[in-house]
Amino acid sequence: MNLRKQKVAKKRKEMFRSAAKVVTNKGYDRATMEDIAAELLMTKGALYYYFDNKEDLIFQCHDLILSEALNEIEEIASMDLSPELKLEKAIKTHIDYAINEKEMFNMILVPEHTFVDDHLKLILEKRKRYTSVFDRIIEEGINKEDFKTSDSKMIRMIILGAMNWIQTWYSPRGGRSAEEIAETYSDLLLKLLS
């Protein structure tokens, strides 16, 4: 990616973070395009140049962060590592997004409340791909007899459920860093499989 495209991508991500901040603070229904434009120091008309409406903006925001996370965990799943190390890396990656991209990652835990039709279908398909990567890693560990479970789906739901809960309680002013939390979670969650 050339320098110009990198700058555009960075600006877009900053726009998405600002939009996510407004939606998180006000709630999806109460946040307006005018509120988001004000946060970005733009006119509402300029914001509509980039996005059709609020749903389009929120969709693109969530799609960006979900795509980035999906690409990272797919890369982890394809590494020449043991299933345990793959799962540890996938857990830490998910927690990194949950903490460092909290507003964007957290804004639509229930996409059915935010999106309709094509947007909803695309988000649900991508989320299914995301969870399936965890399933593949867990199933690989079961097949190699590294993991002592036979129910990859239940273990995956426990792991993702535990990690997603971080978004509700994490504070940067808390007593532990994001790295410490990721390390503790990966240690404890991997014990479910031993």
Tens-digit pLDDT profile for residues 78-88: 999 999 999 99
Q: Which CATH superfamily is domain 54-191 in?
A: Tetracycline Repressor, domain 2 (1.10.357.10)
pLDDT-based confidence at residue 109 (cuts at 50, 70, 90): low
Distance CA 7, CA 1 (A): 10
Query: Crossing angle, helix 54-77 and helix 3-26, to 10 degrees?
Result: 120
Tens-digit pLDDT profile for residues 119-174: 888 888 998 999 999 999 999 999 999 999 888 899 999 999 999 888 888 888 88
Tens-digit pLDDT profile for residues 38-73: 998 888 888 888 888 888 888 888 888 889 999 999
pLDDT-based confidence at residue 14 (cuts at 50, 70, 90): confident
Rounded alpha-carbon distances, angstroms, from residue 85 to 90, 95, 111, 176, 186: 9, 15, 31, 23, 10
Beta-carbon contacts of residue 133 (< 8 Å; ≥ 6 apart): 70, 73, 74, 76, 77, 90
Whole-number pLDDT of residue 54: 86
Whole-number pLDDT of residue 110: 65
| DSSP assignment of the chain | --HHHHHHHHHHHHHHHHHHHHHHHH-TTT--HHHHHHHTT--HHHHHHH-SSHHHHHHHHHHHHHHHHHHHHHHHHTSSS-HHHHHHHHHHHHHHHHHHTHHHHHTTSSGGGT--HHHHHHHHHHHHHHHHHHHHHHHHHHHTT-S--S-HHHHHHHHHHHHHHHHHH--TTSSS-HHHHHHHHHHHHHHTT-
Decide which of 107 and 99 is more confident: 99
